[in-house]
Structure 1
Amino acid sequence: MLKKFLKQISFTSQQDFADNYEVLVPENFNFAYDVVDAWALEEPNKKAMLWTDDEGKRFDFTFADFKKFSDMTASFFAKLGIKKGDTVMLILKRRFEFWFSMLGLHKLGAIAIPATHLLTDKDIIYRNNAADVKMIVACGDKQIIEHVNKSKHASPTLEYTVSIGPEIPDGWENFHKEINEAPEFERPAHVNNNDDISLIYFTSGTTANPKMAAHDFLYPLGHIITGKYWHNLDENSLHLTISDTGWGKAVWGKLYGQWIAGANIFVYDHEKFTPAEILKAIEKYKITSFCAPPTVFRFLIREDIMNTDLSSLKWCTIAGEALNPAVYDTFYEMTGIKLREGFGQTETTLTVVTLPWIEPKPGSMGLPNPQYNVDIITSDGKVADVGEHGQIIIRTDKKKPLGLFKEYYKDKEKTDAVWNNDIYYTGDIAWRDKDGYFWFVGRADDIIKSSGYRISPFEVESVLMTHKAVVECAVTAAPDELRGQVVKATVVLADEYKNCHHEEMIKDIQDYVKKTTAPYKYPRIVEIVDKLPKTISGKIRRVEIREKDN
């Protein structure tokens, strides 16, 4: 399959990759037809997904199965009037019907909007009206149904609601009944152009309503690097990415690049994340490649890894938040596996990444992905020197790279605010070392300015996370009359320390930071809390902490 899309497949160095990596872009590319159906034609019995859940159910799907079920799904959707350009929201947790629906929508040229089951009726109303959602396909869970039903009265474009079960309420279509009764699917005469929108993600807003990042039909090809090279997959791989299908990480790690590489995707459908169960799954099913955010690895290294057979596991990648070196070091000591970080956004694919031929530097995001023209610039627009903080940007004067979003849907003003003069501004601050590796500093709005110093919240958080009592933390700026701002640490303690004397623990944490990093970075304010404020995507809402302090 890769030979259809790449001029050269194997690389020996970053320079070789930069010089010779080239995607052969087909006309009117459609992932469902050109990858999934192509696999089904070439190797119908090839394994595509091993799906299991926390109740012990298991289903093994081949590519022929996915062609069959996506055809059935596309036929059902078409019967309801879904066509090219229509928007359909998918609230499907980790159910395999998500993959049927995504492929079915691709086959019709429609626009998929994956969404989390954590949305309230107000969240759903906002999304329905912002994107003119025509249909919602959802799990038939009581809470989801309740929120969707409450949204209907204020969602004039919403025509159909479809349930995959177990509950099929009045006024809802029965997904499984309908796909089994649907007529034979007929491919539309013209499904899509390459620059048509196929996918919209609502970015998790921490200060305002989420924006709608729209991607075109070429977006999956931008993820060849994700699956083949970052996840290091081949046709014998069984890959697990920890992600609900409502988040962008799902198509990063459970769909596009993985199937182009011919890998088998492992899906563990669970209601509650349990680190010990993830380790058991890796052991039982012989998972070979694993990707998760640093938080997951922090939990895993507190489990009984040394008595778990992880011999099948060969490759681990990490993304979603910056990696603390302490997590890298501990996991490497326990498993012998080097965590390989990658950085990107809802608006992009991987922009900075640690590929197989790159030696990881713990805490570094890696090197720029040559697929993008990535740079770091200072506030006055100059290229940042080695060690100098600046904003990560993507230059688009020569071409729009595969994987970069098309626009913020129906919002030219917001699009132009971040993408102008042939530069896309990520809003993320970093610095590069003498070897070209990028090091994350923080979001532009998060940098702390205290007594003339510019302090990276992430640098302080990295130190705090090595303290024996700290399990989670957020570093923010707090107002101060003398210094302008001071460093504040809001911390969650590990269970065994929650009943300690807080004043003594605060002093211990402050002293620890002073000894471990430059003393001016230590948190002059430490607040111990039971939990940190977060968005529905799990990102820490530092803005909420700041607002409370102002």
Structure 2
Amino acid sequence: MSGQIALVNQNLRALKEASRKVSTLKNLRTFSSCCEASLRSISCQDVARAHLSPTSSILQRSRRATCSSAIIAEHSSPSSIFRTYETPYTYSITKPKWKNTKDAVNVTLSPWQQMSRSFLSAVSMTGFNDYELGRKEFNIDVPEYFNFASDVMDEWARKEETGERSTNTPAFWWIDTKGNEIKWSFRDLAAKSKKVANLLQNSCHIKQHDKVMVILPRIPEWWLLNLACLRIGAVLVPGSTQLREMDIRDRLESSKAVCIITDKEISHLVDKVVKDTDGFQHKILIRDRDEKNNNNRPGWLDFQELYDAASDEHECVRTRGSDPMTVFFTSGTTAKPKMAEHTHVSYGLGHIITGKYWLDLTPHDIFWNMSDTGWAKSAYSNVYAPWGQGSCVFIHHSPRFDPQQTLQVFNDYPISIFCGPPTAFTMMIQQDTSQYSLRSLRDCISAGEFLNPEVNQAWKQVSGNYIREGYGQTETVLMIGSFRCNQVKPGSCGMAAPGHDMAIVDDDGNELPRGKEGIIGVKVKPVRPLGLFTQYVDDPERTQSVFRGDYYLTGDKATQDEDGYYWMIGRNDDVITSAGYRIGPFEVESALIEHPAVAEAAAVSSPDPTRGEVVKAFIVLAEEYKTRDQSQLVTELQGHTKQLTAPYKYPRKIEFVDSLPKTVSGKIRRVELRQKEWSQQPKK
């Protein structure tokens, strides 16, 4: 024992010497917080992997130990680190249970020796700290069978039971504007999602591969349903709460969903369309949290009643990695929205790239992502990326974005990483931020639309953090990102993510030289990247159309500079991205055409200082409406669109024209209208 104590003292002296060499306060904080994080997170069972999360452990054996990332809180101090050392050291000596675990690997050093080695390595290593090496060594051994619920979530729950993950940081933290608050651990999530799985299987007879549509706001049940569908092997089909009758009908018919789960706000719309849908079986209603009475709506099952009666014992079905897991509807330009299908591996495992490398998450992070539940970004950053790394998913349920309210949440809660659309940052920097503390915030992320470099610079002055951008699609996981280990270039969305061979290509998939404008392409031959969708369901022609040569063509135009950074130019197709929402012009035009005043309509993007871009409709009026008051017609058409489709899609700008530009074959030339709009933007 005296030899062990001597080695501990030697390690402590080495740490003190390392901390003495740190010259700046910032580096000292980085050093100390890294060390502290590495001690808190490295478990006895997983010492040889030196803090790999369950998903990360599927990576082929890491060539070197990595510690948790980076700058955590201002109060980190060397003295607290040295005190922290004693607890895991004592645990490893007194409870050598690690030797007998199912995950045990060959270890030549004792747990505390391995821990001290990782502890010392924290001086120079902070998470994903070497871009080139990370890309070179990235290699995932894709298993034949994989299920995120059993292989990742239940593993984190087990780690909580054994003390390998602290429950001081919850796995799920939810608040709303009414003062309600919920904190769940991974064990809570496991037990509760198993009850929901039994509810779906036993009360609704939902089978593996059945499609379940879920249209809910940001309430806790949405997360339980995500996990429950994984456990029973059902295919989740999420939808935005802003969908309207026409949208819901189209999605139910296209997806062939057998069940829909929603709240009162949407239920009356469902009742109007579900009678026309073949193969439909069940409607489940989730009551408002403040509502005490049971649901007595005819034809609807009450979620809470079924949940209360369900058991929390459930055996997860065995799913192949290639089995379909979820289907997202993605905006179309000339037809109905496409159904992008992902598998248990492409999303459940593929978001290692998003969570570990881009977001740089650890089990100590409290991560707040603002995405709506109906979008793929919510799956990215509200489920798979954070929980894959054992982080806390923080949710503030608010009916609409309020910049002052958001700043107050930063002030009141220890949010360490925040992800929001550029619109949110733009609106926050316009507030008086001096009255709010952003001290806990160590990193800021943005995606979904283009971020103005001036906004990024202004946010840096407010928070001390540059906003790191990322680029991905419904069809993919993160493909391009501004990584913590790289320099941030405001205005660029970053460099190619590990596991992705990217290039700028022409319409035929031929690579273009650096600096040349073209389409962002993802190389799929000879190796298809992890995280890429499998198909557009029931649409082989559209699936085939996005693969040219050796590349998947994203449809987004950009350039790549000599350093490898990508600079976005815009959509190659006609999809409109406004305040984080992706809007297909076809859906807007279809709604407008149903009004008797509209003879023809074309919807394009138009520049907007707050939202980045908004929907503008060019409308040819029917003869009998050409003498009507145009300002009154604008209001009427906007209200009409909101009634027929999701309100976020309505045209905020309308211009009446005599005719629309068309091709020889009669197709509307939206590109011409769009160029007209953007050419009128004031020069800076």
**Considering the TM-score relative to the shorter chain, is it more than 0.5?**
yes
Return the structure number with greater helix share.
2
- The whole-number CA distance in structure 2 between the counterparts of 1:537 and 1:347 is 24
Q: CA deviation at 1:225?
A: 2.3
Q: CA deviation at 1:38?
A: 1.1
Matched, 1:124 2:251: no
Q: Secondary structure at the match of 1:39?
A: helix
- The whole-number CA distance in structure 2 between the counterparts of 1:273 and 1:111 is 30
Q: Paired residue for 1:196?
A: 323
2:187 to 46, 51, 64: 64
- The whole-number CA distance in structure 2 between the counterparts of 1:30 and 1:48 is 18
CA gap of 1:542–1:299, structure 2 versus 1, over 3 A, is closer
Q: CA deviation at 1:207?
A: 3.7
1:164-204: CA deviations, max 9, x gaps?
A: 1137322111111101212454426x531111100000002
Please say if residues 114 and 245 of structure 1, whose CA atoms lie closer than 8 Å, have aligned partners that are also in contact.
yes
Code of the aligned partner of 1:240: W
Q: Paired residue for 2:469?
A: 341
Q: Paired residue for 1:112?
A: 236
1:153 to 252, 255, 275: 275
Please say if residues 206 and 541 of structure 1, whose CA atoms lie closer than 8 Å, have aligned partners that are also in contact.
no
Q: CA deviation at 1:87?
A: 0.2
Matched, 1:91 2:218: no
Q: CA deviation at 1:220?
A: 2.1
1:308 to 436, 439, 460: 436
1:74-120: CA deviations, max 9, x gaps?
A: 00100111111000001111010011111111001110011111111
Q: Paired residue for 2:545?
A: 417
Unaligned runs of 5+ in 2: 1-52, 67-126, 586-603, 611-633, 662-684
- The whole-number CA distance in structure 2 between the counterparts of 1:159 and 1:298 is 45
Please say if residues 204 and 536 of structure 1, whose CA atoms lie closer than 8 Å, have aligned partners that are also in contact.
no
Q: How does 1:67-86 map to 2 (within 5 A)?
A: 67-79=190-202, 80-86=204-210
CA gap of 1:130–1:490, structure 2 versus 1, over 3 A, is closer
Q: CA deviation at 1:446?
A: 6.0
- The whole-number CA distance in structure 1 between the counterparts of 2:332 and 2:274 is 23
Matched, 1:256 2:384: yes
- The whole-number CA distance in structure 2 between the counterparts of 1:116 and 1:163 is 16
Matched, 1:275 2:392: no
Please say if residues 353 and 498 of structure 2, whose CA atoms lie closer than 8 Å, have aligned partners that are also in contact.
no
- The whole-number CA distance in structure 2 between the counterparts of 1:493 and 1:405 is 33
Q: Paired residue for 1:42?
A: 159
CA gap of 1:152–1:11, structure 2 versus 1, over 3 A, is closer
Code of the aligned partner of 1:215: H
Matched, 1:214 2:341: yes
Unaligned runs of 5+ in 1: 448-456, 466-473, 477-487, 495-528
- The whole-number CA distance in structure 1 between the counterparts of 2:344 and 2:217 is 23
CA gap of 1:537–1:422, structure 2 versus 1, over 3 A, is farther
TM-score, normalisation: structure 1 = 0.81
1:232-276: CA deviations, max 9, x gaps?
A: 211111010011211111111111110111111101111121111
CA gap of 1:543–1:129, structure 2 versus 1, over 3 A, is farther
1:387 to 487, 512, 515: 515
Q: Secondary structure at the match of 1:391?
A: strand
CA gap of 1:254–1:437, structure 2 versus 1, over 3 A, is same
Please say if residues 242 and 291 of structure 1, whose CA atoms lie closer than 8 Å, have aligned partners that are also in contact.
yes
Q: Percent identity?
A: 34
Matched, 1:354 2:482: yes
Q: Paired residue for 2:57?
A: 4
Please say if residues 88 and 136 of structure 1, whose CA atoms lie closer than 8 Å, have aligned partners that are also in contact.
yes
RMSD: 3.0
CA gap of 1:332–1:36, structure 2 versus 1, over 3 A, is same
CA gap of 1:446–1:173, structure 2 versus 1, over 3 A, is closer
Q: CA deviation at 1:546?
A: 11
Q: CA deviation at 1:339?
A: 0.7
